[in-house]
Amino acid sequence: LAFRLLFFHSNGFSLSSSSSFSSSSSSSSSSSISEDLFVVSSTFMAPQSSKFNDSSVSVDFHYTQNQTSQNDDAKCDIFSGEWIPNPLGPVYTNESCPEIEDHQNCMKNGRPDSGYLYWRWKPKDCEILRFDAKKFLDLMRDKSWAFIGDSISRNHVQSLLCILAQVELPVEVYHDKEYRSKRWNFPSYNFTLSVIWTPFLIHAAIFEDKNGVTSSDIQLHLDKLDETWTDQYKSFDYIVFAGGKWFLKTAIYYENDTIQGCHYCPGKNLTELGFEHAYRKALRLIFNFMTSPEQKGFVIFRTATPDHFEGGEWFSGGTCNRTVPFKDGEVDLRDIDRVMHDIELEEFEKAEKVGSENGVVLNLLDTTHLSLLRPDAHPGPYRTFQPFAKDKNAKVQNDCLHWCLPGPIDYWNDLIMEILVNR
């Protein structure tokens, strides 16, 4: 199976003073942005709808000095739980946030249902508090954060920007030529937030155009980190990084600038090493860098998230039409996602021990299971504006990997707040 990526990009849209969701017509000033793919087959679920309550838009949830959402007697596994109904809905709308890319702006693009907005993540054995944007900005005064990874990391940073924008609008101070890496500043707090696009985090030669059309196989150097992020690393106080899906793509593997083998390269007379080999080596190299004695940052490692394509892949008619979450136990990870997740947990556990010895704070943000349960919250066909306006039966490309904004990815920030508070 040959894996390809879909690239797309948007520069955002105008800020509105309205607090309701907007699906009004608007021309996109988008060029192209990157990203990912994949296939899943799962089962059933009935639709549920709900309406947004404007009066519920709020971000001011305060922590006291001694307050914690976890029991004093035992640590709670905040990554094990279920999605439960949340009548309050999201803390921002697609009109109160200027940072939503058109391809994740599901309401503006005409998605007809809104039930996916009214669920919240509930760990089994404790409650977690909603992300407090004002408190976060106060804590991060004169600090800098970086989200390092692929387009899911960019999706995540846009979610965080949308929440923080309810307190103060971010000012974009940098973007690269392709608009894949960006940096924002919150002037009143001297807080800087960056996203660095590096889908492998190790050195890679990628031969794909903005539409994901491949002209040659990826050349992946398993013994070299990508200097795009390592050259900036020491300038950040907090780092959230993730790898994952790109390692499933066809690639030629190098070490010492010499071909060692490949992943899915039939007809090339190379040793099939498999993505597991490359992903483990890459994570080990990354963790070794981050946990070395000269590094002192606060590091959060986010695990990969499964996609929810059914009936095909992104380029072969795959769709994601479900309208409610799965319940815990109704769906399992595919074998390929389970292998990837196991590698992540094994390498994190090893690195955490090294980091603690060297004074590096290493934290796990395990988004795999809670994301698996949300097949209902991807853009699907609504990655473009009004895809069925001219033909209600039109065959359109679906995005079943990235997340609508607002959407369940917002709750990843609740988990980050939990990690910060309980450290």
Please identify every residue annotated as catalytic: 151, 399, 402
How many whole angstroms separate alpha carbon 5 and alpha carbon 22? 29
Helix (H) or strand (E) holding 192: strand 191-197
CB 300 within 8 A of CB 240: yes
Question: What tokens does 211 get?
Answer: 């539409």
Cα-Cα end-to-end distance for the chain: 43
Closest CA to 370 of 156, 118, 152, 81: 81
How many whole angstroms separate alpha carbon 344 and alpha carbon 89? 32
Question: What tokens does 141 get?
Answer: 């005064």
